[in-house]
Amino acid sequence: MAEQERRKERLDRGIKARTEGLYAISSWREVSYLLAPRAGLIIILLLLPLIVPGLYWQRVLALAGVYALLAISFDFLAERVGLVCIGGAFMIGVGGYISGALNYYLKLPVFLTIPIGTLGGALLCTLLWLPCLPLRGIYFAVVTFMFPFLTTSLILAGNLFEGTEGLSPIMGFPNTWIAVYLMIVLILLFIFGLRRLCGEDIGVVFAGVKDNDLAVFASGINVTRVKIYALYIASLIGCFAGAFVAHFSGFVGVSLFAVDFSIMPIAACIMGGPGTMVGPALGAFILAPLSELLRGFGQLRVVLYCLVLVGFILFKPEGLLSWAARKYHQIEHWVKV
Amino acid sequence: MGEQKETIIRVRNLSKSFGGVKALNQVSFDLFEGEILGIIGPNGSGKTTLVNTITGFVKPESGEIFFRNIRLTGLPHYKIADLGVTRTFQVVRPFFSLRSFKNLIVPLWSSRARRFASSRGGDRDAVAIDLLEEVGFERDAYVPYKSASSLPLGYLKRLELARCLALRPEVIICDEVFSGLSMSEIASMVPLIERLRTRGVTLIMVEHRLRELFSVADKVIVMNFGEKLAEGVPEQVMQDEKVRRAYLGEEIKV
Amino acid sequence: MEIFVYGVVNGMTFVLWAVGFSFVYGISRLPNFAHGALYVVTGFITWSFINSTGLPHWLSIILSLLIVSFAGVAIYQFVMIRVRGMPISEIIVSFAIALAILEGLRLQGIGGFKGFIGPGYVLPPFVNGVIETRWVTIDFQRLLIIAAGLLLLGSMWLFTHYHKVGLALRAMAQHERAALMLGINSDRMANIALGIGSALAGISAIAVMPLGNVNCESGYSVLTNAIAVCVIGGLGSWVGTILAALILGLATTMMSALGGTMWNNVLVFGLIILILIIRPSGLFGQQKELEERV
C-alpha cells in the first residue's frame, strides 16, 4: 500500500502573471500590485522618524541606518559580485577617522568632512584592499576581517590619533532631524542606485565575475579592475556610514573598528534576504532596534545576532524579504502525489 | 597565384613542466593568417598546455610566442584576449547563472569589443542576439533567452565560439570544440567553422576527432609527450611513421 | 638566551593552539572558527569542576575534554553539516557560534548566572616547581608545554599515517570524491575530525592556561594565532606548522621584549595579511587549488 505523499505546489498568482512586461500598466490594479510593496516600504521608511517616540529612538534609527548601509554594501559585494568582504568595521573606521580628523585637526565643517571622508576613505580602503583582490573567496574574507584588528593594534600601539582616548569632541549635525533624514535619503539613493547599476551591462559583468571569473578573463576583461570598481562603490557606502557615525556620536576612536560593525551587517543581510539589497536594509532596521531594546542585558546582543545569523543560514537562507516576496507573488498549497 | 601569407603567430621553443612532468618540450611552429591549423595527439601529449601557454593561462618556462610582432610570452590572459587571440575551453565555461544572450554582454563590455563597436554598439543586447544568430541559435525561438544552464552541450559549444566572436578576434583557438557532440551536431558545427574562416578569423583547432578536423584543416601538427612529432598537410602527416607509432603503437611482426 | 628559550616555549604554545585548528581544516577542509571558543570553554569547565564540585584535578581534565569533544561534534552535526561545501557560510556560522559562546560566557545577571569575568579564574599547573639551569630559569609547566606540543604533533602524525581512521581522514583531505568512492563516510569523518580537533583545543587549554588565567578575550587571540600559524605555515604540512609556530613564537617574544605587547598584535595581523597576499598557500603549503587549473 503506497504511502500518501504530499508535496508543496507553488503557483504564481493570477495578478502576477497579468503584470508581466507591458501589461503592468494596463490598469490601476496591476500598477498598484507592483507599486504597493515598494511604495509601502519607502513611505514607512520616510515616516519612521516621525512615528518613533522621542529623540532617543530617532538616534537608534540613525544608527540602524548605519548598519543598513553596511548591510547593503556587504550584500552588493557578496551576492552581486561574489566578493565576500567581512571588513565592514574597516570601512567605518577609515571613513570615521578621516572625517573626524579633518574636523578635529583642521576644523572643517560637517558638510565638507563627510564628502571628503566618504570619497577619500573609499579610495584608501580600495587601495589597501587592492593586493588582496586576487585571493580566492575564503581567504579574501579572512584577510578583510583582519584589517580592522590590524588597524586597531596599530593605532593603539603607535598612539596615533590620540590612541585610546580618540578624538573628541567632533562637531555634530545641526540637529537630529537633518541627520536622520540624511541617512534615510541616502539609504534609498544607494539602494536604487545599486539595483539600477546591477541592471546595467556592468551589472552583468559583475554577475559574470561572481559566476566564473576565468571566463571573464578569457573575454578580455581584467577582472581585478572590475572588482576594484565594485569595491570602490561598496567602500563609498561604508565610509559614508563611518563619517556619519563620527559626526553623529561626536567621537572618533578605536571603537569604530568594532567587530560589531563587521558581523551585524552579515546577520542583517542573511536575515533580510541576501541579494535583494532591500532585504539587508530591512534586516538592519529590525536587528538594530532589537539590540537596543536588549542593551540592558549587556553582551546578550551579540549572542542574539549570532543565533539569528545561524538560525537563518540553516533554516531560511532565502531571508525574510525573499520569503515575503514569494508569499506575495505565489500561492502555495499541498498537493497529493 | 597565392600571395605570401603573413605569419600571424610564431611559437619558438616553448617548454613547460609541471612538477616532474615535461608537458611541453621545445615546441615551435608558425601559424599563417587565414589558415586553419589542427593540433592532434594522444591524450596527455600537451595539447591543452600548449593552448594555455599561448593564451596566457599558464606561464611557460622558456620559449617565446609572438602575435604579429607583439610578444605574447608573459602577458596575462586578459591582455592576450584583448589583443585578439581568443580561446574556447575544453570543458565549457559559460555563465550558467545568466541567460544565453546575457552571456555575451560580458565580452561585449570588454575594451576590445568597445573599440570595434559599430554604431549599434550602444545596444549590446541587440548585438548579442545577432551574434547568437551567427553561431546558429535560432533567432525567433526562445533559445537565446533561456538560461545558459538549461542549454544542451551543442549550444554551449556555440556559445563559447560566440563569446570569442564578440571580441572581433583575429585568432580563435578551439580546445576540443567537437568533443562530446553527437555526429549530427558535429556535422552542423563544421559549416560554422568554415563560416569563421570566411570571416577572416585564423583558427587553431585542438581535436581528437580526426576525420572532421581533416575536412577543415589546412595543416596539422601532431604532438606526443610534449614534443612536436610532425607537421604538414593531413594526409601526409598520417603516413608518417612516427605518428602512426604514437597513435597505434608498434607494429607487431607476426 | 633567555629570550630564545622563552621564544621556543612561546612557539610551542602556538603549536598547541594551532594543531587543533590545523587538524580540522587541513584534514576535512572545515574552517572551525569556533576553535577559540572551545579553548576557553574547556578552561571554564575544568575550573568549574575543580572549584565548584571539588573533583580531583585529573578527573576534571578528562571530563572537560570529553565534554568539549562532544561539543565540537555537536557543532558539526547540527550546524556545520548543513552549510558544508559553502566555505563562507562555514566560517560565518562557526564564528557566529564562537561569538555566541564567548560573549555568552560574559553575560551577567541572567537567571543568577554571573558571567565569567575577571582575573580570578586560575587553573593550577600540573607540576609545581622550577628548574634552574646554567642559562635560564624555567618552570616545569613551560617545559610541559614543549613536551606536550611535540607529543601532540608526533601522535597526530603517527595517527594520520598509520591508523586506519587517520589515513581515512587524510584521504578525505586529498580527494574527497575518491575517498567517498572507497566507502569512507564523509560526514562521519568530519565528525571524528571535529571531535579530535576540539579535544586538541581542550588539551592546549589545559596546558597553556595555568600560565595565566582563564578569560574570554583569549578566545579571540587564540583563534587569530591559530589562523596565523596555519596561514603562514601552510595547510596540510606539519613541518610548516611547527616552523611557522616557532617563527611566530620567537618573533612575538622578541617583540614583547623590545617594544611592548601592543605591537605583538600588529605583528601577528601584519604577518597574516602579508603572507596571504604574497603566498596564499603558506610557506610550505600544499594547497594547489589556489593556483588555477584550466
Do the chains contact at C292 and B48, CB–CB below 8 Å? no
Nearest CA in chain C to A85: C88
Confidence of residue C291 (pLDDT cuts 50, 70, 90): very low
Measure CA of the first residue to CA of the last residue in chain A; give whole Å: 14
Residue C89, min C-alpha distance to chain B (Å):
20
What's the pLDDT at B1? 40
HSE value, Cβ hemisphere, 13 Å, CA-based, for B179: 13
User: Does the pLDDT value for residue B242 go beyond 60?
Assistant: yes
Higher pLDDT, A272 or C137: A272
CATH number at residue C89: 1.10.3470
**Over 80: is that where the pLDDT of B207 sits?**
yes
Q: Which structural domain range is residue C51 located in?
A: 2-103+134-287
pLDDT > 70 fraction of chain C, expressed in percent and rounded: 80
**pLDDT over 80 (residue C114):** no
Locate C259 and state its grid cell: 617594544
Count of A-C CB contacts under 8 Å: 119
Q: What is the pTM assigned to this prediction?
A: 0.85
Domain ranges, ordered by start, for chain B: 7-93+164-247
**pLDDT of B62-96, one tens digit each?**
999 999 989 999 899 999 999 999 999 988 999 99
Q: How much is the average pLDDT of A293-315?
A: 77
- Give chain A positions within 8 Å (CB) of C93: 309-310, 313-314
Number of structural domains, chain A?
A: 1
pLDDT classification of A3: cutoffs 50, 70, 90 = low
Chain segment A72-108, per-residue pLDDT in tens: 999 999 888 888 898 899 999 999 999 888 888 888 8
Chain A residue with the nearest C-alpha to that of C81: A314
The pLDDT tens digits for B175-190 are 999 988 888 888 888 9
> Taking 70 as the threshold, does the pLDDT of residue A192 lie above it?
yes
Find which of B18, B58, B78, B87 to mutate to test the C interface (most C CBs within 10 Å of its CB). Answer: B58
B52 CB near a chain C CB, below 8 Å?
A: yes
Q: Given a contact as 3+ CB pairs under 8 Å, which chains touch A?
A: B, C
The answer to the question of residue A295 being in a domain is: yes
Q: Which domain holds residue A82?
A: 54-336
pLDDT score at C133: 63
Q: For residues C195 and C66, is the Cβ–Cβ distance under 8 A?
A: no
Pick from A244-258, B145-159, C274-288: least confident? C274-288
In a domain, C50, yes or no: yes
Residue A59 has pLDDT above 90, yes or no: no
Contact A221 B96 (CB under 8 A): no
Q: A219–B110: do the CB atoms touch at under 8 Å? A: yes
Give me the pLDDT at residue C111, please. 39
pLDDT, chain B, mean: 87
Cβ pair C226, C98 in contact under 8 A? no
pLDDT of residue C280: 67
Task: Identify the band that residue B121 occupies on the pLDDT scale cut at 50, 70 and 90.
Answer: low
Q: How many domains does chain C have?
A: 1
A-chain residues within 8 Å CB-CB of B97?
A: 207, 210-211
CATH of the domain at A176: 1.10.3470
pLDDT surpasses 80 at C144: no
Q: State residue C128's pLDDT score.
A: 58
DSSP lists the bridge partners of residue C113 as: C110
B86 CB neighbours in chain A (<8 A) are 218, 220
Q: From C291, which residue of chain B is nearest by alpha-carbon distance?
A: B58
- What pLDDT is stored for residue C286 in this prediction? 55
pLDDT (tens digit per residue) in A199-249: 888 999 999 999 888 899 999 999 999 999 999 999 999 999 999 999 988
Of residues B81, B103, B108, nearest to A218 (C-beta)? B81
Give the closest-approach CA distance of A157 to chain C in angstroms: 5
**Residue C294 — very low, low, confident or very high, per pLDDT cuts 50/70/90?**
very low
Confidence check: pLDDT of C108 > 90: no
Domain assignment of residue C97, yes or no: yes
For an interface test with B, give the residue of C286, C288, C292, C294 to mutate (most B CBs within 10 A). Answer: C294
Average pLDDT (C245-252) is 84
For residue C16, is pLDDT > 80?
Answer: yes
Q: Is residue C233 part of a domain?
A: yes
Q: Which fold has domain B7-93+164-247?
A: Rossmann fold (3.40.50)
> How confident is the model at residue B136, as a pLDDT?
86
Cβ <8 Å between A149 and C265: yes
The verdict on B90 touching A (C-beta cutoff 8 Å) is no
